[in-house]
């Protein structure tokens, strides 16, 4: 038994990586077909999603970077949160693993896929686990590949009856906004893991999470104010952080993209 993460690395041939992502998506589809029994799976509701996003302001912005949010900044974040919460609530609600990523997927001896760390499963937005897989905080998949795989998965959701017929851009918007909620949360969680729990290695994954966060925020009018604020207020402080790498090209830890788009060790 071994982690799936190395099999999805950018060092692997794309054909092999594609097979593994397909395998993971098939497993995810099986999870989402499980009956969402309230007695078994608690609701992943607005209160929970909001509490997660609040970690960003407390732990990443204030405790890690030393910034005190003023009233305008707090209001801006509240408006962003509302839009992300509304988007999440509008999605079909299914069983959600909640941490469906490469470090919780295991390749077994028969080459089948095992899933661990499922004790926090809930009922929540249909795109949540898909975002966790395709915008993995520990791995980078190109934007083209993410979109291609997300839309292919959408077709499976429509075929299964989990999702009504939906325009591609509408689905991608829901997917991106779900990712924005998740990655805002993760920025806070990784900062907390370092500052409170002494697990400083998580800080090395922040540049990739920042990349996912800002790439999604830049795409939509509702998150443009957040994007502009981050670039103007937060980005100038990042080079002073020991863990910082240029977020625009951040991939896996220890691997960066050169300006010509190629990768170097």
| pLDDT per position as a tens digit, 166-221 | 999 999 999 999 999 999 999 999 999 999 999 999 999 999 999 999 999 999 99
In this model, does residue 135 exceed pLDDT 90? Answer: yes
Please tell me the pTM assigned to this model: 0.93
Distance in angstroms (rounded) separating the CA atoms of residues 85 and 117:
25
Domains and CATH numbers, the chain: 37-99+124-252 (3.90.1200.10)
pLDDT for residue 253:
63
Distance in angstroms (rounded) separating the CA atoms of residues 105 and 114:
6
Tens-place pLDDT, residues 64-92 = 999 999 999 999 999 999 999 999 999 99
pLDDT for residue 256:
43
Of 133, 166, 151, 147, residue with least CA distance to 216: 147
Q: Average pLDDT of the chain?
A: 94
């Amino acid at each position: 038994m071994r982690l799936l993460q190395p099999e999805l690395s950018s060092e692997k041939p794309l054909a092999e990586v594609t097979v593994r992502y397909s395998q993971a998506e098939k497993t995810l589809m099986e999870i989402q077909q499980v009956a969402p029994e309230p007695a078994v799976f608690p609701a992943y509701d607005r209160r929970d999603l909001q509490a997660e996003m609040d970690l960003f302001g407390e732990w990443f912005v204030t405790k890690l970077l030393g910034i005190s949010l003023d009233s305008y900044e707090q209001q801006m974040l509240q408006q962003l949160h509302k839009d992300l919460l509304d988007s999440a609530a509008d999605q079909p609600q299914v069983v959600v693993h909640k941490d469906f990523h490469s470090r919780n997927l295991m390749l077994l001896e028969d080459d089948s896929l095992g899933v661990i760390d499922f004790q926090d499963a809930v009922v929540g937005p249909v795109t949540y686990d898909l975002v966790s897989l395709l915008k993995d905080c520990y791995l980078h998949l190109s934007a083209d590949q993410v979109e291609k795989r997300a839309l292919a998965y959408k077709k499976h959701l429509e075929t299964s009856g989990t999702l009504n017929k939906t325009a591609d851009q509408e689905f991608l918007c829901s997917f991106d906004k779900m990712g924005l909620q998740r990655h805002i949360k993760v920025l806070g969680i990784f900062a907390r893991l370092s500052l409170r729990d002494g697990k400083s290695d998580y800080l090395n994954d922040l540049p990739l999470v920042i990349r996912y966060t800002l790439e999604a925020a830049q795409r939509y009018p509702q998150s443009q104010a957040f994007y502009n604020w981050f670039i103007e207020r937060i980005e100038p402080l990042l080079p002073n952080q020991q863990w910082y790498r240029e977020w625009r090209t951040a991939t896996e830890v220890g691997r960066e993209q050169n300006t010509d788009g190629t990768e170097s060790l």
